[in-house]
Structure 1
Amino acid sequence: MKGIISALLCSFDEHGQVNEKGLRDIIRYNLDTVQVDGLYVNGSSGENFLLTTAQKKQIFTIVKDEVQSDVPLIAQIGSLIIEEAIELAKFVTNLGYDAISAVTPFYYKFDFEEIKHYYNTILEHVENKMIIYSIPALTGVNMSLDQFSELFDNKKIIGVKFTAPDFYLLERLRHRFPDHLIYSGFDEMLLPAAVLNIDGAIGSTFNLNGKRAKQILTLAQQGHIMEALAIQKETNDFISAVLDNGLYQTLKELLVTQGVDAGICRQPLKTLTANGKGIVLDIANKYL
């Protein structure tokens, strides 16, 4: 499960329901056009925290049906409701997902013992591998090297999606845990993470920009840093334009320009204005 992995977007209709055809279109674009190495399903980019349990199961099922065993699949099952996380972990394991992932529990300022209990409890109920999803900017949960080490004492926890700009901690993780999978989670910081010998990256912009991401990762691994830097600069120009216009809305509309039925975002995420859609066309013409 190494390489460039898309944090999969999901297509929704105007009523907020899963658009199955659109979701399958997004999957095919990732696999056939962008040629990513895997898919991370129902993460932040899939608007997971705006979904019902039934919708999450629907998405997991459609993705597995479309992908089969073509690329590895990682299912993000994390939830503040631990029973839901366990239910989803069992569900995707039975579907044949290659690994599960879970965001650190958030909002209530859980202490580390509570966080460790959360992961271990989920894994007591399922025979699958776990990728920790660490994203302190959104969860407020910052874990130390020793705390990661305690989590990794559970042999079912095989790695981390590291979405943080702390490159000192990232380097220390790589050094202490050479056999664990370490994924970068910030697309705009892929190159400095790649220099630290990560195993891959998981990101939302890879739904469209995955080929550049693959180039950055490969060039960095080969020691061609200045070449990789030029591509990271172009990538960051693309990312800046997308962020200025609205991340998920713009990524979906960019897919639409490529003939993909990417739908719209679920409320309360807003929809693009006519001006916003015009900006998308400019971005597409420049970068796609």
Structure 2
Amino acid sequence: MKGLYTALMCSFDEQGNVNEKGLREIVRYNIEVSEVDGLYVNGSTGENFLISTEQKKQIFEIVKDEVGDQVKLIAQVGSLNIEEASDLAKFVTDLGYDAISAVTPFYYKFDFEEIKDYYNTILEGVDTQLIIYSIPALTGVNMNLEQFGELFENEKIIGVKFTAPDFFLLERLRHAFPDKLIYSGFDEMLLSASVLNVDGAIGSTFNVNGKRAKQIFTLAQGGKIDEAREIQKVTNDLIEEILNNGLYQTIKEMLKTQGVNAGFVRKPMKQLTEERAIKARELAKKYL
């Protein structure tokens, strides 16, 4: 399960329906061009929190059908509706996904016992492994070392997608839990996380920047920090320009220049203006 995983985008049509052909093309691009080790399906980048349960299941089915056993697959099933999360966990386990992941429950100020019960409930009656998705900036959930340790007492919880700039906590996690999988979740901090010996990374921009990300990770593992730093600099130039132009919309437009039908974003996200679409195409020409 180690390596680089793309936080997979999903192609939607103008009405917000799943565009199956486009989704399959995004999958193929990530495997054949970006050459990532796996796909993280129905995370934030897949606009997961904007779609219905049936659409989530449709996406899980299409991706598994397209991938087969070519690369590893992690299914993000987390939801404020715990029945939905449990249902999705069973659904993807039956489909043959390699692991599930679940974002910490958000919006309401859950205490840690409630968060722990959430994860344990999702895993009840499911023969699968789970990766915690920790992204405090968006969920408001900050867990400390001891709390991660309590969650890891459930042997089915095998690791964490660590999307936070707290590198002190990241180092402490790595030291305290050498047998757990730790994935870096911030693409712009991949080198810094790699130096701390993470097991891999899961990133949005890997949809268009997977090769560079893999180079950074591999070079850092080999101690070639100066070379990795140069590639991280180029990567961060790209990330900065993408963020300034509109994250998901720009990545989708860049994919379109590569012949991938990446479709549209779902409302309430807005589509790119023509000016921003031109900028996205310029970025593709510059970086891809």
Deviation string for 1:74-118 (max 9, x for gaps)?
000000000000000000000000000000000001000000000
Q: Is the 8 A contact 1:174 1:198 kept in 2?
A: yes
Q: Distance in 1 between matches of 2:192 and 2:35?
A: 23
Unaligned runs of 5+ in 2: none
**1:100 partner amino acid:** I
Q: Following TM superposition, by how much is the alpha carbon of 1:282 offset from its aligned partner in structure 2, in angstroms? A: 1.4
Q: Tell me how many residue pairs correspond in the alignment.
A: 288
Say which SS state the counterpart of residue 34 (structure 1) adopts: coil
The CA deviation at 1:285 is 1.5
1:133 aligns to what? 133
In 2: Cα distance, 1:281 partner to 1:25 partner: 18
- Which letter maps to 1:4? L
Paired AA for residue 225 in structure 1:
I
Structure-2 residue corresponding to 1:202: 202
| Matching residue of 1:72 | 72
**Structure-2 separation of matches of 1:39 and 1:273:** 29
Q: CA deviation at 1:140?
A: 0.2
Distance 1:36 1:86 in 2: 28
Opposite residue 278 of structure 1, the aligned amino acid is I
User: Structure 1 stretches (4+) deviating beyond 2 angstroms?
Assistant: none
Shift of 1:125: 2.7
Contact 1:86 1:125 in 2 (8 A): no
1:112 aligns with 2:112: yes
Question: Secondary structure of the residue that 1:86 maps to in structure 2?
Answer: helix
Alignment of 1:106-255 (within 5 A): 106-255=106-255
Aligned partner letter, 2:207? N
* Superposition CA RMSD, Å: 0.4
State the distance in 2 between where 1:210 and 1:3 align.
11
Provide the rounded CA distance (Å) in 2 between the counterparts of 1:73 and 1:285.
30
Gaps of 5+ in 1: none
1:277 counterpart residue number: 277
Identity %: 73
* CA deviation string 1:42-98 (max 9, x = no partner): 000000000100000000000000000000100000000000000000000000000
Structure 2-normalised TM-score? 1.00
Q: Partner of 1:260: helix, strand, or coil?
A: coil
Partner amino acid, structure 1, of 2:203: G
Q: Take 2:287 and 2:93, find their aligned partners in 1: how far apart are those partners?
A: 38
Aligned to 1:61: 61
**2:56 counterpart of 1:50:** no
Is the 1:191–1:217 contact (alpha carbons within 8 Å) kept by the matching residues of 2? Answer: yes
Query: Match for residue 257 of structure 1?
Result: 257
Counterparts in 2 of 1:4-19, with a 5 A limit?
Answer: 4-19=4-19
After superposition, give the CA deviation of every residue in 1:217-274 in whole Å (9 maximum; x if it has no partner).
0010011111100000000000000000000000000000100000010000100010
- Distance (Å, rounded) in 1 between the aligned partners of 2:16 and 2:87: 23
